[in-house]
Structure 1
C-alpha cells in the first residue's frame, strides 16, 4: 500500500526511542503475550531482536489485602508499555482468608503500584488501557464524582506520557489531560475482517445490508461503518422516563426507529459495550418487527454482566444471528464456547501502535484503517468507498 511502512522495516532500521519493554498487569497476560509474539516476529533478523519484550512483574498481596508492585529486572532507560485490563473480574486475591475478585479499582491501583515500582527510571511510560478505567462515569450530573477524568490526571502526574484506549465511552474525557498523549482507537478493520471470515455469505452492499445505531451515543461509530461500506444508516433513540430512577439511571420507555425500510435486509449494529445486553436485545426485537433478516451485533467490550442465558434464547429463536466482541477485555470460557459469539483479535493492531510509538513514528504511516478496509473490500469484490 502506497505511503505505508511495514512493521518489519521499522525494526530493521534500528531507529528506536529506547529499548522496548512490555509490562503486563494481572489479567492482561494473554493479550500481552499475543502482542509480544507479533513484535518478536517483526524484529527477527534485526539488531532489536529479543526472545521476548515482556518484563516480568507482579503485584503480590499481604493476607490483610494490602499490596505492592514489583518489577523483577532493570528497566532503566526503557520505553515501557504497561498493558492493563481493568475489566478482568476473573482475577482474585486473598484477604483475611477469603478470595476476593478484583474490581476495576483493584486493577487501577495495581497499575499505579507498578508505575511506582519503575521509580522514575524508565525513559518513557505509555499505558495501553483498552477499557478505560471509570469511562462509564465520564460526566457530572448534580453532585457526582468524575472518576475517569481524575484517573487520567493521576496517571499524568505519575509521569505517564501516552494513553492508548479503544472505543472510549466518551472520548471527550481526554480534555481532562490536554497535555498528555491520548489515542482513542476503533478496531473497525479488524471487525469487518472477522465479519467476512465468520459469515461468508454476508453481502456488504446497499441491497442486502444496513447499519443501524442502537442509540444516539453510538451514531459516530455506526456512521463510519455505513460510510466505508457505502450502505444506508438507520438509528434508534431511547425514550426515557425522566421522572424515575432505577439502578441509578432513568429507565428506557421505548426505542424509536429513524431510517429507511429494513425489509429483508441483514443488519449490523455496533456499540462500545454490551453490559446487561437488555438494550441490544430490545433493539433486535424492534428490528425484527420491521422484518429485518439476520441481525449481527458488535461491541468492543462484550462483558454480559447478567450472564448469557438471554442471548442463548435470542440465538435459538433467531432474534440474533451472531455477536462479535474483541479480546481487549476478559471473555469467560462460557462465552468463548458459544456458537453465536465471534472473537475479534486486536493484538496485532496494538502491536502496530507500540512499534510506532517506540520509534516516534506516526501510527498512520504504519497502518491506515481506511486503506486497509478499502483493500479488504476490493479483495472480496466490493467497490471501495
Structure 2
C-alpha cells in the first residue's frame, strides 16, 4: 500500500497514517512562475494499492481549483506509472453543493467533478459528510465511499449536556435527514431520548427567507448540525431563532469548518455557546489561530479515515463506518 498526503492536508494525512500504523509516502509538488504545477510520487507505485489524501477547500495561497487539479494530476500520474488501484481520499469534496439546477441553464458541477475523477482513472473516492449523500452516490460511477462523523460528535455532546434536555436541530429543510441520523445515533449510544427540530430556509439570488420553525427548544441544550460552516450565516440565523424560543444553550456542529470570509460575525456572536468541527480542512485550525477567543473545538478525524483505509485495503467490512444499517 502507498499513502500520500498532498500539500494542504499534511496534518490530517499524518493522523490517518498514524492510525494505520504506516508512514506517509514522500512526494514532490512544484509550482512554476507561470502558475502551472507538477506533482509526482517519489517512490514506486507500480502494482501498489494507492491512497491519495487531499481536502478540496481553498486556503493557504491555494484555490479550490488549484487543489483539484493537483489531486487529479497526481491520481493520473499514479495510474500512468502502474498503480494497481488508485483511491482518492477527499474529506472535503469541493463543488458538492452544486448538485442540481436551481436556475435556468445552471451547471450541475458535482457531476462534472465526478467525471474528472473518473477520466484520470480513479477507482474509488472516499469522502467525509458530503453535502448531499444521494447526489454524491448518483454522480460517481466509480466506487464511492461516504464516511459518517456522527460517532465522533456523540461523546462531546454527551459531555457538554450532562443531565440537561437535548435537542438536535437542522438549520434548513435540506439537512433534516442529517440531523435525524445524529439524533438516532445519540439515542442508540446513550439510551437517552432527545428532541428534534428544524427551520425553513430558502435562498434566492443571495437573499435568505423562510419563517417556519418546527420543534420545542425551550430550556433545552440545542445542537444545530450541518455538513459545513462557511460564513456561518445559516448557523447564526438558526441560533438566533432558537434563542428567541427559550433555548438554554446553543452549540453549532459541522464536519467541515471552512470558515470563509464573514465568519467573524459567527465567532463574535453571543448567540452560539460553542462551535464544534472536525479537522477535515486546514482552515479550521487557521480560524482557531486567527480567533483565539472563539469558542471553537476541533475534533480529530484522522483515526476514522485511517480505519477506513485499513479496511478498504484489506477488503474488510466498512459498513459500520458508513452509518448504514446491515
Match 1:69 to one of 23, 27, 39: 39
1:258 aligns with 2:214: yes
Q: Who is 1:281 aligned against?
A: 236
Query: Which of residues 170, 182, 193 in structure 2 aligns to 1:225?
Result: 182
1:134 aligns with 2:95: yes
How far apart are the structure 2 equivalents of 1:202 and 1:217?
A: 29
1:368 Cα deviation (Å)? 7.7
Q: How far apart in 1 are the matches of 2:87 and 2:126?
A: 8
In the other structure, the counterpart of 2:286 is 333
The answer for the alignment partner of 1:47 in structure 2 is none
Pair 1:152 & 2:153 matched: no
Partner of 1:196: 158
Q: Is the 8 A contact 1:308 1:335 kept in 2?
A: no
SS of equivalent to 2:200: strand
Aligned mate of 2:137, from 174, 188, 203 = 174
What is aligned with 1:112? 72
Secondary structure at the counterpart of residue 31 of structure 2: coil
- The residue that corresponds to 1:79 in the other structure is 49
Displacement of 1:332: 4.0
Aligned pair count?
313
Measure, in 2, the Cα distance between the counterparts of 1:368 and 1:71.
30
- Show CA shifts across 1:190-238 (max 9, x none): 11123335x2x533xxx71111111111111110122232322111012
Matched, 1:165 2:120: no
Partner of 1:272: 227
Root-mean-square deviation over aligned CA pairs: 2.1
Query: CA separation in 1, counterparts of 2:322 and 2:10?
Result: 27
Which structure 1 segments of 5+ residues have no match? 1-19, 41-51, 91-100, 372-385
Aligned counterpart in structure 2 of residue 55 of structure 1, from 18, 25, 32: 25
Equivalent positions of 1:15-30 (< 5 A) are 20-30=1-11
TM-score norm. by structure 1 comes to 0.76
Q: After superposition, give the CA deviation of every residue in 1:133-179 in whole Å (9 maximum; x if it has no partner).
A: 2112222232122222112122122221111111111222331333x
Q: Helix, strand or coil: the match of 1:60? A: strand
The structure 2 residue matched to 1:34, chosen from 12, 15, 32, is 15
Distance 2:119 2:3 in 1: 21
Any stretches of 5+ residues in structure 2 without a counterpart? 188-192
Q: Is the 8 A contact 1:210 1:266 kept in 2?
A: yes
